């Protein structure tokens, strides 16, 4: 469903192609939370994206942000950086102070389904979500963002994103050794960098506003940590940068350069979910939405020097959103961040590169118990006048389990992209290791040329047009019954594609029962008799069934939103239900009684 805001009359603000870069803004470093029982508020606030700039964006703009409830007023965009320690028990809480439903998804985290923060863990306005889980992830850079059906793109564009730094300072000797060797002084020699784009308009009152309800190809601003053309002051030491593509659509081809534009050696140490097995020099790294990489920069002896992080648009392949061709030639090579090297603060124990890092935890192919293929397509559906990107010619349905994975199993998944666009594939719950990529010409990629794809653990990977990408993943725990509300997600992380249905659900099955369930639809969830008539219905609707106690009937739309909830008395036979207040179209009726549960669909005309 597309969101419309009739009270706003938008006019484009000119941006990248029509203004000079100034680099007069200090970068924003999000505040740090180290507690295990942190409390986040989701708030509406205001933010200045260009506080020292000379253009029209130097003004306060309505934004959304995650806020540390114990330190209100410290964030006006994005959210605090969260520190998680391996094997700690976390008891966070998230309060939704917006006027619309949202969620808080821990992107990259291996957590139980009920704590994942996906579309099923909705936080209604005014409500608080209280998940709990043990940190089972090794050191990594992850992030958190909303994941409500049909609202993810808008909420991220409005500002809701934050970094998670997972650490292991004491438990695992292989990991804790590198905790002591690598830079870890947050905001001093260890910097989170969130790369995004946003488009701005003027509303009917003439105020600058984020355009978050529609796509765009031009007239957008690049920003890092919510600041346009920022300056990062770094010490003349070994410095760690944690790169996150937190954009809703755009890929970035990031380079660290000298002032003259020549490459500056950057050493890759980690991908999405943890360390690579050795350091690699990378003169550029292509990152699609949702991906993370960690790099080391050796700035020792460079006092007074200036470096840049540059987006080399010329290096973004065909079919990847963010290149020049798909942005009407608007996207051009440009510097996104200026780094000014100051004085030396510490002495790093790292003498040179390459370094051998912790060994890979990739499961062997001999453990594979099942193979499956997910095909990325673009098809026509009745819900849209134009073809939609999708998975397996199916659009996301909150009441359908698309895949069932046996707990304590290892699987080999092939993502077959048959479209003319690159799609960043993201799967919840688990991490994976890419084992093979066959390009559009039918040739395998050389693993040595792409350590950021093949060496480290991933949860988010760009599948370019025509590629067949295969990965191995294990599902060791968190087995449940097979039901939609026990599902994890897999989806394209181009957020408008996700919102429009390029997403599916899988359950890690606990194995209880007979046979092997391959998919479950809503009618398979019914455990009691439930008849709904007439269907389609207009002004009146009847529910025929039996229950000896008061029961609850929920009407849910196909995006998983609660439309109406009724309390029904005990009855035996048919009970009349008024349709007043219900929207036309297909709805799901979820009837929960003392005797069991019934699920049915009804079409209201």
Alpha carbon distances (Å) from 282 to 158, 170, 182, 253:
32, 30, 18, 11
pLDDT at 2 over 60: no
Q: Are 482 and 516 in contact (CB under 8 A)?
A: no
Cβ count within 10 A of residue 12:
14
Ranges assigned E (strand) in 18-155: 25-26, 32-33, 39-47, 61-68, 81-85, 89-90, 93-96, 105-107, 128-129, 133-134, 140-145
Alpha-carbon span 159 to 13, nearest angstrom:
19
Geometric angle at alpha carbon 303, from 301 and 309, rounded to 5°: 100
φ and ψ of 58, to 5 deg:
-80, 75
Q: How much is the average pLDDT of 424-428?
A: 98
DSSP 502-526: -EEEEEEE---SSS----B-GGGG-
Model pTM above 0.75:
yes
Per residue in 538-566, pLDDT (tens digit) is 778 989 999 999 898 988 876 566 788 89
**All domains in the chain, ordered by first residue:** 16-341 (2.60.40.420), 365-520 (2.60.40.420), 523-604 (2.60.40.3080)
**pLDDT interval class at 15 (50, 70, 90):** very low
- % the chain with pLDDT above 70: 93
* Residue 484 DSSP SS3: helix
What is the structure's pLDDT at 514? 55
Alpha-carbon span 553 to 568, nearest angstrom:
7
Alpha carbon distances (Å) from 308 to 233, 267, 354, 520:
12, 15, 23, 51
**pLDDT interval class at 6 (50, 70, 90):** very low
What is the structure's pLDDT at 525? 56
Alpha-carbon span 430 to 412, nearest angstrom:
13
pLDDT at 584 over 80: yes
- How many helices and strands, by DSSP H and E, does the chain display? 4, 41
Return the structure tokens found at 580: 């007043």
What is the structure's pLDDT at 559? 57
φ and ψ of 479, to 5 deg:
-70, 140
What is the structure's pLDDT at 214? 65
Alpha carbon distances (Å) from 432 to 309, 406, 455, 529:
28, 16, 10, 42
pLDDT at 457 over 50: yes
When the pLDDT of each residue in the chain is averaged and rounded to a whole number, the result is 91
- Positive or negative CA dihedral for 477, 481, 485, 487? positive
What is the structure's pLDDT at 7? 40
pLDDT at 5 over 80: no
Q: Are 521 and 514 in contact (CB under 8 A)?
A: no
Cβ count within 10 A of residue 258:
13
pLDDT at 520 over 80: no
**pLDDT interval class at 273 (50, 70, 90):** very high
Per residue in 277-307, pLDDT (tens digit) is 999 999 999 999 999 999 999 999 999 999 9
What is the structure's pLDDT at 4? 34
Per residue in 113-140, pLDDT (tens digit) is 999 999 999 999 999 999 999 999 999 9
Name the most confidently modeled range: 216-230, 274-288, 479-493. 274-288
């Amino acid at each position: 469903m597309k969101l419309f805001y009739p009270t706003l009359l938008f006019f484009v603000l000119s941006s990248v192609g029509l203004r000079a870069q100034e680099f007069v803004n200090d970068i924003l470093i999000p505040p740090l939370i180290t507690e295990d029982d942190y409390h986040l508020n989701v708030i509406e606030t205001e933010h200045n994206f260009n506080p020292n700039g000379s253009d029209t964006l130097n003004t306060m703009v309505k934004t959304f942000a995650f806020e540390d409830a114990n330190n209100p007023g410290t964030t006006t965009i994005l959210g605090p950086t969260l520190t998680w320690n391996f094997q700690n028990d976390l008891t966070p809480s998230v309060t939704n102070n917006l006027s619309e439903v949202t969620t808080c998804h821990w992107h990259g985290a291996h957590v139980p389904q009920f704590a994942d923060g996906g579309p099923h863990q909705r936080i209604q306005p005014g409500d608080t979500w209280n998940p709990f889980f043990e940190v089972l992830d090794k050191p990594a850079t992850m992030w958190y963002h909303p994941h409500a059906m049909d609202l993810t793109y808008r909420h991220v564009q409005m500002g809701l994103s934050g970094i998670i730094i997972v650490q292991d300072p004491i438990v695992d000797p292989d990991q804790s050794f590198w905790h002591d060797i690598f830079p870890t002084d947050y905001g001093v020699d260890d910097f989170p960098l969130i790369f995004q784009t946003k488009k701005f308009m003027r509303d009917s009152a003439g105020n600058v506003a984020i355009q978050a309800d529609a796509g765009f190809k031009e007239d957008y601003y690049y920003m890092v940590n919510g600041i346009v053309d920022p300056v990062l002051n770094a010490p003349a030491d070994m410095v760690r940068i944690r790169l996150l593509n937190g954009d809703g659509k755009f890929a970035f081809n990031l380079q660290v350069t000298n002032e003259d534009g020549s490459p500056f050696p950057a050493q890759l140490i980690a991908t999405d979910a943890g360390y690579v097995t050795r350091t690699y020099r990378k003169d550029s790294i292509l990152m699609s939405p949702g991906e993370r990489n960690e790099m080391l920069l050796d700035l020792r002896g460079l006092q007074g020097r200036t470096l840049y992080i540059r987006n080399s648009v010329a290096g973004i392949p065909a079919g990847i959103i963010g290149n020049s061709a798909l942005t009407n030639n608007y996207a051009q090579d440009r510097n996104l961040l200026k780094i000014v090297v100051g004085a030396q603060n510490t002495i790093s124990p790292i003498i040179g590169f390459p370094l051998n890092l912790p060994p890979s935890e990739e499961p062997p192919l001999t453990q594979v118990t099942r193979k499956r293929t997910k095909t990325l397509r673009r098809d026509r559906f009745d819900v849209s006048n134009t073809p939609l990107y999708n998975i397996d010619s199916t659009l996301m349905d909150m009441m359908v389990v698309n895949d069932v994975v046996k707990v304590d199993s290892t699987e080999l998944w092939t993502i077959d992209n048959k479209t003319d666009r690159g799609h960043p594939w993201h799967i919840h719950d688990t991490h994976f290791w890419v084992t093979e990529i066959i390009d559009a010409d039918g040739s395998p990629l050389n693993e040595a040329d792409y350590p950021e794809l093949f060496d480290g653990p991933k949860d988010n990977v760009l599948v370019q047009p025509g590629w067949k990408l295969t990965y191995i993943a294990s599902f060791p725990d968190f087995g449940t019954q097979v039901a939609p509300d026990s599902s994890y997600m897999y989806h394209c992380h181009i957020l408008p594609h996700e919102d429009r249905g390029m997403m599916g659900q899988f359950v890690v099955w606990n194995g209880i029962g007979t046979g092997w369930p391959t998919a479950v639809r809503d009618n398979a969830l019914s455990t009691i008799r439930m008849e709904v008539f007439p269907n389609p219905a207009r002004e009146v609707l009847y529910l025929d069934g039996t229950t000896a106690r008061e029961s609850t009937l929920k009407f849910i739309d196909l995006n998983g939103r609660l439309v109406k909830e009724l309390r029904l008395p005990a009855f035996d036979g048919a009970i009349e239900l008024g349709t007043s207040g219900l929207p036309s179209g297909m709805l799901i009726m979820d009837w929960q009684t003392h005797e069991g549960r019934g699920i049915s669909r009804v079409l209201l005309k």
